[in-house]
Amino acid sequence: MRFPHLLASVGHTPIVGLPHLSPTPDVRLWAKLEDLNPTGSVKDRAALAMIEQAEADGILTPGATILEPTSGNTGISLAMVARQRGYHLICVMPENTSAERTQLLRMWGAEIVYSPAQGGSNEAVRVAKDMAKRHPDWVMLYQYGNAANARAHYETTGPEILADLPEITHFVAGLGTTGTLMGAGRYLREHKPDVQIIAAEPRYGELVYGLRNLDEGFVPELYDPSVLTSRYSVGPHDALMRTRQLLHEEGIFAGISTGAILHAALGLADRAAGSGDSADICFIVCDGGWKYLSTGAYEGTLEEAAGAISGQLWA
């Protein structure tokens, strides 16, 4: 595959079968390797689409400053694109994210404003919105409500999956901004009305839910529950167990959120196998494990690893 430049290579990721984790010959698991994008995460698709849309709309002009609340991955993708397009990027990121996220953001030239750990990404959103009010010349792409985020997946991720796996019965992805599920989910459902669209949501430690009141809760503007068939909450123990299982049994070195997604996918696979149905279950490998090495996720017992990531935003 040959591309004129790096940004043109975003997407076009492979889907690989998981022969060891698939429960029966008729119930097959498939992993879409989004870690093979330029910054190693699925967020490259949304970041590129949001910047290109803002350029097309005339909102983003040469030399502009972009502001974005992020738990890290979207920020890293935006930094990679911004660097090549000549924009300055300021990310508002919760302080309880992995050291590698900070290192990667700085490496690609982004400036980081840390938001308090308590409240997680909700707090980053709040801080960024306050900053945006004070700096009207900055451009906040706002991944949680930017239609280009979901559209990137409607136009690329969804069609790629259907082309490579026309027999798909279930699509499983992580729920953060909801962009992947809304975009790819809508596309798949339009072309295969019976497909099941399943969300796997990380369940963090208590610190992350430490809001001052319930009204500080946050539902991304992009979220449309009618796209989903079901939604599961997956805790750190299950996520870590599956992350390691994916590595040991299939050789795929993924980040922790992928373990959460795999946990939901395996639940669906077991259910299909139990009822004698055949199924082709495709799930997203959001990113590789590289950014989480310092968290201790891959060392010691599961209990030790779960303890190590308990206050972290691990997805």
Partner 1 sequence: MAIEVQIPTILRTYTDGEKTVGAEGATLSDLLADLDVKYPGLRDRVVDDAGLRRFVNVYLNDEDVRFLDGLQTAVSDGDSVTILPAVAGG
Provide the binding-site residues for partner 1, judged by CB under 8 A: 43, 69-71, 73-74, 120-122, 124-125, 143-144, 174-177, 179, 199, 201-204, 206, 208-220, 225, 228-235, 313, 315
Q: Closer CB to partner 1, residue 15 or residue 113?
A: 113
Catalytic, 257? Answer yes
Of the listed 32, 41, 257, 291, which one is catalytic?
A: 257
* Neighbouring residues of 69: CB distance < 8 A, sequence distance ≥ 6: 91, 92, 93, 115, 121, 124, 125, 127, 128, 129, 142, 144
Question: Which residue from 248, 253, 256, 242 is spatially nearest to 295, judged by alpha carbons?
Answer: 256
Rounded (5°) CA angle 57-287-31:
105
Q: How far is CA 199 from CA 1, 21, 223, 255, in A?
A: 32, 20, 11, 17
Is position 192 annotated as part of the catalytic site? no
Comparing CB distances to partner 1, the nearer of 203 and 244 is 203
Name the minimum Å distance from CB 201 to partner 1. 8
Question: To which H or E segment does residue 241 belong?
Answer: helix 236-250
Q: How far is the CB of 95 from partner 1 (least distance, A)?
A: 15
| Residue placing its CB nearer to partner 1 in the complex, 210 or 296 | 210
- Alpha-helical (H) ranges within 59-214 are 73-85, 99-107, 120-134, 147-152, 158-164, 179-191
| Identified catalytic residue from 41, 43, 77, 291 | 43
CA neighbor of 87 nearest in space, from 69, 114, 64: 64
Q: How far is the CB of 256 from partner 1 (least distance, A)?
A: 12
- Least Å distance between CB 40 and partner 1? 16
Closer CB to partner 1, 231 or 244, in the complex: 231
Just list the catalytic residues. Answer: 43, 257
